[in-house]
Structure 1
Amino acid sequence: MSRHVLVTGAAGGLGSAIARRFAEAGDRITGVDTRAEPLGAALADIPGAQAIVADLRENDAHRFVERAWETSGPVDVLVNAAGIWPATPLLDLTAAMWDNVMAINTRAPMLATVALARLAVAAGRRPNVVNIASGAAIRARPGAAHYATSKAALEMLTKSCAVELGAHGIRVNAVSPGFVAGSSQEVNPITEEYAAAVSGNALGRIGQPPDVASAVFFLASEQAEWITGAVLRVDGGSSAGNPALPVHWSGATEVQTP
């Protein structure tokens, strides 16, 4: 049965890949982004896709959920994929910079999830929510105090929403990508030096947007119907450890026994 899938950040590399993955399964897509032209281009090859231009920093940002529900029917899946990851040295960080990142990366997913839950509970429906977290939630890096904190908060928000909304049959999970090629370079540029430094992982290749999209699709599917409050790390094993580290002792050693 066709579902109505609402994806924020749909003009970006991850958001558009997620929208296409659901569309391939026959689902109806509503994409949300603040950039009208890139959003239209990203949804152009998805038959029947609807576009909503919205600024997620606004206090009434959640209105896009109500608009999507009214325009294209009840929302069955909400994917909070919109996000920004500016690089700001800690000594240069201001309250305005901090608030901007938090508004988009953490507050907007909260407002959207609450708005959807209210509509769903009133209508007796059981939608799924999938948030896009980040490996930065568990690994700080220079210049990313605001971003890493926002994603750590998003992971806890995911768990908190799962606990409170589970009684209504609403599942809330998160996918935590490692470094993924093809993200939105226009809004969130990444240098070649940074990409080279963070691209190492156990599987030996950089992630691609479809890798993340497949994980999102799974968590929103019936195959994951007993999964909620989970954070699925889709990072090629980078969170498991660093395969580039040398053996910590030169030469072979044996375990000494008494």
Structure 2
Amino acid sequence: MRHVLVTGAGSGIGLEIARSFARLGDALTLVDLHAAPLEEAAAAALEAGAASATTIAADLRGPDAAEAVVAEAWAAAPVDVLVSSAGVYPATPFLELDATTWDLVLDINTRAPVLLAVALARRAIEAGRPASVVSISSGAALRARPGAAPYSTSKAALEAATRAAALELGPHGIRVNAVSPGFVEVGSAVNPVTDEYAAAVGDTPLGRRGRPDDIARAVVWIAGDEAAWITGEVLRVDGGSSTGAWHLPQHWTAIGQEEDAQA
């Protein structure tokens, strides 16, 4: 039985990640901004088979929040797996950006996962224990889109930090990876998307949009022993949408057809 700490566990992908670890009988500490959805998430985790499910309501924007969250979780039991799933993605046109919006996104999406990993690693190294860290990235780390300058930047930085952490923490037995979802339908009240946006980004080579369980299975796998020799990686779980611009039409005539046309 592992002790798994999951942020953003109150809804969406984070909630499904918590459920997936619960089905394995792990003990969970669930973190989110608001207490009410966390209590529902804890009940769902226990119903799914979690050994235990405790909750911490915390605002991860605070400079000391990550340390406080890990300290509280570790006091109950050493943490074996950290999953940073909490994130925000407001749409703000580039010319309307200000420091408040920029800092909000970077503080939650980049700084918090990094400082959570630091807080866990310090304790794990002192205790001589291995650990696994998984952060949730995004396809936006590779491809910008209108209104997502801070979000794309936050996820690109998170992926760089994942590699840097893996490099330094690997000798201590701490693996650090990221999972990068494509478009996943979560129905989030915190991060809503329009039907127009969903239709534009939700089509993939595999023919469907993502589901939270698609991401959760990848997280559980890369956090576990089956991925024991993997660190510093970004696992893209996106139905093939990052493979290229697959919606573009073919822009040349096949050679055989061209010859036939000229005959």
Residue 96 in structure 1 maps to residue 100 in structure 2: yes
Q: Give the aligned partner of residue 30 of structure 1.
A: 29
- CA deviations on 1:162-203 (whole Å, 9 max, x unpaired) are 00000101000000000001152x111100000000012110
Q: Give the aligned partner of residue 42 of structure 2.
A: 43
Tell me, in whole angstroms, the C-alpha distance in 1 between the residues paired with 2:103 and 2:242: 28
Query: Residue type of the partner of 1:239?
Result: S
Percent of pairs with identical residues: 60
Query: How far did 1:46 drift?
Result: 1.7
Q: Give the aligned partner of residue 190 of structure 1.
A: 193
**Structure 2 length-normalised TM:** 0.93
Distance 1:123 1:203, change over 3 A: same
- Contact 1:16 1:43 (8 Å CA) reproduced: no
Query: How far did 1:247 drift?
Result: 1.4
Tell me, in whole angstroms, the C-alpha distance in 2 between the residues paired with 1:30 and 1:222: 20
Query: How far did 1:254 drift?
Result: 4.4
Match of 2:214 among 211, 216, 223: 211
Tell me, in whole angstroms, the C-alpha distance in 1 between the residues paired with 2:17 and 2:214: 10
- Contact 1:52 1:64 (8 Å CA) reproduced: yes
- CA deviations on 1:64-112 (whole Å, 9 max, x unpaired) are 01100102x0000000000000000011100111011000000001110
Distance 1:150 1:198, change over 3 A: same
Q: Give the aligned partner of residue 49 of structure 2.
A: none
- CA deviations on 1:200-242 (whole Å, 9 max, x unpaired) are 2110100000000000001011110000000000000000023
Of the structure 1 ranges 18-27 and 41-50, higher mean CA displacement relative to structure 2 is found in: 41-50
Query: How far did 1:255 drift?
Result: 11
- Contact 1:14 1:183 (8 Å CA) reproduced: no
Query: Residue type of the partner of 1:226?
Result: W
Distance 1:171 1:199, change over 3 A: same
Tell me, in whole angstroms, the C-alpha distance in 2 between the residues paired with 1:246 and 1:60: 50
Residue 21 in structure 1 maps to residue 20 in structure 2: yes
**Structure 1 length-normalised TM:** 0.95
Tell me, in whole angstroms, the C-alpha distance in 1 between the residues paired with 2:185 and 2:249: 27
Residue 126 in structure 1 maps to residue 130 in structure 2: yes
Distance 1:31 1:4, change over 3 A: same
Q: Give the aligned partner of residue 65 of structure 1.
A: 70
- Contact 1:28 1:49 (8 Å CA) reproduced: yes
Q: Give the aligned partner of residue 157 of structure 1.
A: 161
Query: Residue type of the partner of 2:79?
Result: V
- Contact 1:202 1:242 (8 Å CA) reproduced: no
Tell me, in whole angstroms, the C-alpha distance in 1 between the residues paired with 2:229 and 2:44: 33
What is the CA RMSD across the aligned residues, in angstroms? 1.3
Residue 52 in structure 1 maps to residue 56 in structure 2: yes
Q: Secondary structure at the residue paired with 1:44?
A: helix
Tell me, in whole angstroms, the C-alpha distance in 1 between the residues paired with 2:222 and 2:140: 21
Tell me, in whole angstroms, the C-alpha distance in 2 between the residues paired with 1:18 and 1:183: 16
Tell me, in whole angstroms, the C-alpha distance in 2 between the residues paired with 1:7 and 1:15: 7
Tell me, in whole angstroms, the C-alpha distance in 1 between the residues paired with 2:154 and 2:254: 43
Query: How far did 1:61 drift?
Result: 1.0
Q: How many residues align?
A: 252
Q: Give structure 1 stretches of 5+ with no counterpart.
A: none
Query: Residue type of the partner of 1:252?
Result: A
Residue 106 in structure 1 maps to residue 105 in structure 2: no
Query: How far did 1:36 drift?
Result: 0.9
Tell me, in whole angstroms, the C-alpha distance in 1 between the residues paired with 2:84 and 2:56: 14
Tell me, in whole angstroms, the C-alpha distance in 1 between the residues paired with 2:54 and 2:257: 63
1:202-241 residue pairs with structure 2 within 5 A? 202-241=205-244
Q: Secondary structure at the residue paired with 2:45?
A: coil
- Contact 1:88 1:144 (8 Å CA) reproduced: yes
